[in-house]
Chains A and B, each alone.
Chain A
Amino acid sequence: MRYLQGRFVASALTAVSIALGVGLVIASVLLTRGVKQSFVDGTTDYNLIVGAKGSPTQLVLNVVFRMDTATPNILYRTYGYVRDDARVDVAVPVAMGDAFQGVRYVATTPAYFAAFPWRRKTFAIAAGRFFRDDVPDHPAYEAVLGADAARRTGLRVGDRFYEGEEMAEYPLTVAGILRSTGSADDQAIFFSLPSYWAMNEVARKMQIKPLTAVLIRAKRMSDLPSLHREYNVSAETQAVFPSAVLLQIFNLLTLAEDVLAMILAIVAIVVALYLFVSMYSATLERKREIATMRALGARRGTILAIVLLESVAITFLGAVLGLGVGHGIAYVGSMLLASRGGPIVNPFAVGALQPVVFGSVVIIGALAGLLPACLAYRTEVAANLAPLS
């Protein structure tokens, strides 16, 4: 420790640069993995989504993850065709609306929240109740808020709300608040399709009402390819496998990950070189000090161990600090993503990453200190104890 104290500023700067390198690696991996995992965890249990012709990615991101703008409308009769198809087990109509304080409106039926044996996600009410299954002539204007939506807007059961003066005639009443599902449904305001159609001037005038999409669960998975093909060859609709779209997004993320891995490898090399240069110059500076220690009886092995220990100690400190810095950066990144309606990332996920990075850094530190340690080991007493003048 006294050896380290002698070069406090240089040692501290070296530890800080290691910490920044480790932090960058930890934060980058946590965020990229977290984004991917968030898509996997938050995806829908429905196998197929039917929507208007256009971008499949836009359809999935908007309907499942509440990102991007809504795709153009399809007609309600499409839902009728799907629902009456003998191959379909469950069909749920969804219409994407505007937003209240940035929280998206999602119009659907109570079937959206129903529990099925195949469903991973469960919806439960934390306060109040689900909205009523009303009819087009008598919309109830009742809303159910996702857990995050309720927190962000501050709305409670019984509150009435609207945004924009054209909506003043059709305020929604909070009927219930959902428990957190850990998905994009936490950041939505749900209400019935009749309420949605009544609130929308264009929809009010339409004989056949509009929808954004229909979520489909097939009775037999093996019928999905033919359902997919039929709704895709139709001139009005497209059918999308949500997982296929997510896998295409993951392919792009993998490319970004590969580029990031190269950058991180360069960062690791730069940090290792910095540590090496720092230790090497310290050893050169201390040749006289080392020679004195040798003259006082210190063995060559002791000198080697001291320099190696110094290198490992600095790396150890930097790595410990870096773990904290990495999780801190990941936390800030996850907050930024969440505030922009992006995927929900756990910045404190602990797994094999931390011990692997920590162990690798300490080993790199030991290797970087090996040559300076050898240099110290070979320091000649007589040559370095000569008078300075």
Chain B
Amino acid sequence: MTSWLALVVMLTFALAAHGDEAPRLTFAQLVDSIRANFDVTQQMKSYAGNNVEIQGFIIPAGPPDLSFFLLSRVSALGNYCCEMPTGQDETVYVFAAKGVRIVYDPLRVYRVRGVFEAGKHVDPTYGVSMFRVRDARVEVAAGAKIFRVGAPPPPPAKP
């Protein structure tokens, strides 16, 4: 009985640890990785196809079911503060897994986890993009920090 309990506890911890394994990418890292002709650094390419975590503000540029949205370093609502959003390099195109269930708040930071893609891609519906997260799960990032361009990035994430 005790061994069964121990196994269940170990499995639970292992699953929880597996869920937290995705390395976190910041917008500063994304910006730094961009090279000429829509290319990105090898290090950024090494994340492609793997699960990553990115935190940012949701900009609902797609349908209201949030099956597609933009994740941005800057909130879409702050009209009279912060700097202007810059565009391609600081925007991640997020294709959500079915059934995103969040309370949308334009002023909250959300944590997005999913399969990362880097480099130029042209989607028939949403056009050209540099960074994408597919099959994404979304949740509120409590106490999250958004790293600004030029600010020291967090410790390097392991691909």
Contact = CB atoms under 8 A, between A and B. Distances in A.
The answer to whether A and B belong to the same complex is: yes
Most buried by A among B61, B91, B103, B106: B61
A352 to B, nearest CB: 13
B60 A243 contact: yes
Interface stretch (B7-15, B20-28, B74-82, B140-148): B74-82
Interface string A19-42: 000000000000000000001100
Contacts of B99: none
Contact count band on A? 20 to 34
Given A219-B127, A226-B85, A226-B87, A243 B64 contact: yes
B87 A223 contact: yes
A244 B104 contact: yes
Interface of B: 59-66, 69-70, 72, 74, 76, 79-80, 84-88, 91, 93, 103-104, 106, 124-130
Contact of B63 (A40, A218, A224, A250): A40
A103 to B, nearest CB: 25
Interface string A188-231: 00000000000000000000000000000011111111101100
A246 B61 contact: no
Contact of B106 (A39, A118, A229, A244): A244
B136 to A, nearest CB: 15
A186 B16 CA distance: 50
A248 B104 contact: yes
A interface secondary structure, majority: helix
A325 B86 CA distance: 55
Given A222-B91, A233-B79, A243 B124 contact: no
B98 to A, nearest CB: 13
Contacts of B74: 225
B88 A220 contact: yes
A233 B74 CA distance: 15
B12 to A, nearest CB: 28
Top-9 shortest CB links A-B: A225-B85, A243-B60, A247-B104, A222-B91, A246-B64, A243-B64, A222-B88, A232-B79, A118-B125
